Chain A
Amino acid sequence: MKDMPTSVMAELRRNGYVFFPELDPLRSSLEVAECIGSVVDLHAAYPGEGLKTVHPLRAMKEAESRPNTYSAMLGLKEFPPHTDFANWASPPRYLMLRCIVGFDHVFTSIIPSHALLSCLGETISRRALFRPRRQVLGKPVSILPMCFSIMDTEAIRWDPRFLRPLNNEATEALSKAPGSVVLQESIVRIQLSSPGDTLLIDNWRCLHGRSEIGLVALSRHLERVLLDEVRA
């Protein structure tokens, strides 16, 4: 795979995600990600912190998981829609999920940010302020606005588990979103079921989650790579 075709870039811009069925299954996730764009080298950026550039995502029960992960909190249950690393000052722009071992009945759910914004309304969205649930890697804690912009690109962050509301608007947002019909109707469900199935998500414009995992799918295995930009 060379640079992304124009049509794929257009799809990414339009929908906030692109799905590539069985994309070069024999190649490693890192190789594929490097073809797609500029990989965030977490290991080099934060040495000694145990962050992996290619991160394995496996189905795990609560007790088996590392603390401070969705698996430790929810185990095999459904993961709510969220932004990856929403508790960072600037969450990574893109994430690539790639299937190593997949199952038909497990879905990755995607919600476009405009659905969340229309569910909450502009006033709440623009004024909602969060803080990280806890300090990240000993770095100073700062205020995290739900809507932010980096280099003229509008972005949102959302994570009901790892962010704590700092003002009334954030509290209202967290209580309003889960029951929203608008959000439910906007969910796109994608199966990463065959080796090589690859999903590229704009982490600033889409939330993503995961459906419940039954006991038969315990061997489900995805790999995640973060990207700063995508090559056109």
Chain B
Amino acid sequence: MSTSIESHPWSSDACLQKSKYYLQLMEDLTADEWQFGFWSALSLELLARAALAHISPSLLADLRDWRNIEYSLGRAPTAKKFKPRSIPTAEVLLRLKEMIPEFTEEIQGFCSQHADKRNSELHTGELAFASYKTSLWLPKFYLSCRVLLASMGQQLSDFVGDADAAEALIVSLSEAAAMAVTQDIAAYARVWQDKTAEEKDEASLAAMNWALRQSGHRVECPACKSHALIHGTPSGSVIRKLSDDLVEEKQRVIPASFECIACGLRIAGFSKLSACGLGDAFTSTSRYTPAEFFGLYSEDNLDEARNEGYEEGLEEGRGENSDFEPDWNE
């Protein structure tokens, strides 16, 4: 039945509509008013909850009481005095980071920081938004909104009053990131050029030994061309392949940081990595033996345990003909 009197308070739609409403309250203010940031934080939190509920409202349920899941499914409470509890915003953001690849660690970090400001505003004597300059957060705010909306099949133009201005701020964010990272790379390249050939060879060799695939994703350093590593955040579904003697798991990883030990260049954040061509997602592959994967005992483990049991039996006077059967699973 498509007809319903009320929408579930945890439903994606209810959270999205409230988020839109708070955003409109924000847009009714000028950017230099402290409430501008305050409403943005409330809007962003609800947008994050809408995105998670869009996958399933059950993901919002606090697992300390299973009745929260029951509530999230739209069922009437089965216990008296039950008050539904959802998970904290920090947990919402962590779950989104893992499930929505475009919701990068950088965006998650910004959203957490913005939610912290809101907490400080509400729960402390600090005027958290009074001195929070929009240049520090507004472009990232719109970027976060765009990513969260896209995960629900919505566009920024469905959400904000002036989508063109919001998009322009997002572009400025990537331009600023590009400029900053280009300057960093150029500076480290100059220092690298001034090194002697011996110093370069020694540093490159050390980097080659250090930048092993097991430690991260190996790439070429944009400043000194030595081997370097990218670390990232696992995101999206794990793809598992089973064969007779091997279990292989693959998962997409979104780059989050870069490090080169040869020239010392470090880059943090997806936007900067993306701006210098290091933002491509890579795949993390893990291989396990079936015994490792399923937590089973190998034949060697079993032989070893049998021998131990046999020896213990001998020590306790139970010989080879003893009825003693060790319980291998304990």
Contact = CB atoms under 8 A, between A and B. Distances in A.
Interface stretch (B4-12, B33-41, B223-231, B289-297): B4-12
A90 B4 contact: yes
Interface in B199-253: none
B173 interface: no
Nearest to A166: B21
Interface in A120-161: 126-127, 129, 136-137, 139-140, 142-145, 148, 150-151
B194 to A, nearest CB: 58
Given A142-B17, A143-B17, A127 B24 contact: yes
A40 interface: yes
Interface in B161-218: 161
Given A126-B158, A127-B24, A143-B21, A150 B2 contact: yes
Contact of B6 (A40, A139, A166): A139
Interface residues of B, number: 18
B60 to A, nearest CB: 15
Interface in A145-193: 145, 148, 150-151, 166-169
A129 B3 contact: no
B189 to A, nearest CB: 49
A226 B20 contact: no
A145 B17 contact: yes
A88 B9 contact: no
B47 to A, nearest CB: 14
A89 B7 contact: yes
A45 B7 contact: no
A46 B14 contact: no
B21 A140 contact: no
Contacts of B3: 40, 45, 85, 88, 90-93, 226, 228
Contacts of A137: 5
Interface string A211-232: 0000000000000001011000
Contacts of B1: 38, 40, 45, 228
Contacts of A129: 17, 20-21, 24
A129 B3 CA distance: 19
Chain A: number of interface residues, binned into ranges: 20 to 34
B297 to A, nearest CB: 51
A163 B3 CA distance: 18
Contact of B5 (A46, A127, A143, A148): A46
B95 interface: no
A148 B21 CA distance: 14
Contacts of A143: 14, 17-18, 20-21
Nearest to B158: A126
Contacts of B2: 90, 93, 150-151, 228-229
B327 interface: no
Contacts of A89: 4-7, 14
A92 B1 CA distance: 9
Contacts of A136: 5-6
A140 B8 CA distance: 8
Contacts of A169: 24
B278 to A, nearest CB: 39
Interface of A: 38, 40, 45-46, 85, 88-93, 126-127, 129, 136-137, 139-140, 142-145, 148, 150-151, 166-169, 226, 228-229
Given A140-B9, A142-B18, A226-B3, 6 more contacts: A89-B6, A90-B4, A126-B158, A139-B6, A167-B21, A169-B24
Closest 4 A-B residue pairs measured CB to CB? A139-B6, A89-B7, A143-B17, A92-B3
18 contacts: A40-B1, A45-B3, A88-B5, A89-B6, A89-B7, A93-B3, A126-B158, A127-B24, A129-B20, A129-B21, A129-B24, A137-B5, A142-B17, A143-B14, A143-B20, A166-B21, A168-B28, A228-B1
